[in-house]
A and B are shown apart, each in its own frame.
Chain A
Amino acid sequence: MKYAHEFVPGDEHEPLEVVITPEYNQQILFSLENFDPQYRENEGAQPPKVHPVLLLHMSARTRSPSFKLAPDMGSIFAKDSVEFLNPARVGIMFRVTWRVLDAYEKRGHNYQAMGINIHDANGQHLLRREMHSTFFVRNKPEVA
């Protein structure tokens, strides 16, 4: 299996299927000190919303079951473009997919652009994201 920095455009990491529990959603609410009822209570027949930051948290490429860094290699997030298309709901499975869009060099550093999508079990497109990351040798981080 390839290390993450060896991925080329078109390569895909293994998808992740996630169900957010009420407890985990509330744990993330605690981390943000946000106790908005829309994330804790049903909305009509719908379960509570998943806090949107969990879609970002679960779509980091390190969440892929196949993501693997080479020994002594680290990776740091550089920039991010994200579109929220529909809310995720507590207890409803969603699936995250990752595909390398570009691999490029900038100022002597290697970068990857990753296209990320999340769809739920009802077929709704929840999130579209393009995330750029750079790789570095451990103990010599290039970015704080």
Chain B
Amino acid sequence: MQPTPQIRLKSAEAGEMFEGRPLTLSLSRILAFSGGPFDMPEWPDKNLHTDLVKAKEAGLVGIIGSGTQWEGLLIDLMVELFGERWYGSGSIEAKITKSIYVGQTVQAKASLRERQSSPDGQRIVLDVWCENGDGDKVLAGTATALVD
């Protein structure tokens, strides 16, 4: 049986890689994320993530996903790795480096950079990024949290 990502992280060495689930950003998923609650009047909210006219006004060729949506995928990977500890000690520093258009795939990845001692316990620092289907980075940064 494969160890869980959380168990792998505890014994991982620098450079070890971790991957989240790939997700295709279909129009349905982009609208669900960026359109506001389904029950609001005149859903979806009109913005460059939901409306072609708004996207074109911003100089884009089509609707793009919100970078926060794939930051959500990165959070999911961090919860897999750090478990409950993520909610009280997790942090992310990141930049959105590229846009993702409807129908493109995105996947969160992480690589162990170092372990640090802190008064609250051991803190693990990861290099983190999200890639589109071509392997281009669409988010890059670092993430840290305490481990038991």
Residues of A within 8 A of B (CB): 21, 23-24, 27-28, 30-34, 36, 49, 51-53, 56-57, 60, 74, 77-87, 138-141, 144
Q: Please choose the segment from B9-17, B32-40, B113-121, B123-131 that sits at the chain A interface, where 4 or more of its residues have CB less than 8 A away.
A: B32-40
Chain B residues positioned under 8 Å from A34 (CB to CB): 76
User: Given A52-B86, A52-B87, 19 more contacts at CB 8 Å?
Assistant: A27-B38, A28-B32, A28-B33, A30-B29, A31-B72, A32-B23, A32-B33, A32-B72, A33-B21, A33-B29, A36-B79, A51-B72, A52-B79, A53-B69, A56-B72, A77-B67, A77-B96, A80-B94, A84-B91
Asked, given contacts A27-B32, A31-B33, A138-B57, whether A85 binds B38 with beta carbons under 8 Å apart, the answer is: no
CB distance from A53 to the nearest CB of B (A): 3
User: Per-position contact with A for B55-95: 1 when CB-CB < 8 Å, else 0?
Assistant: 00111100000111101110110010000001111111111
With an 8 A cutoff between CB atoms, is B99 at the interface?
yes
Query: By the criterion CB–CB under 8 Å, are B87 and A87 in contact?
Result: yes
Asked, given contacts A79-B93, A80-B95, whether A85 binds B88 with beta carbons under 8 Å apart, the answer is: yes
Chain B residues positioned under 8 Å from A77 (CB to CB): 67, 96
Query: Which chain B residue shows the least CB distance to A79?
Result: B95
Q: Which of the four size classes fits the interface of chain B?
A: 35 or more
Chain B residues positioned under 8 Å from A85 (CB to CB): 88
Chain A residues positioned under 8 Å from B68 (CB to CB): 53, 56-57, 60
With an 8 A cutoff between CB atoms, is B30 at the interface?
yes
Chain B residues positioned under 8 Å from A28 (CB to CB): 32-33, 72
CB distance from B70 to the nearest CB of A (A): 9
CA of A74 to CA of B55, assembled, Å: 11
Chain B residues positioned under 8 Å from A21 (CB to CB): 37
Query: By the criterion CB–CB under 8 Å, are B88 and A30 in contact?
Result: no
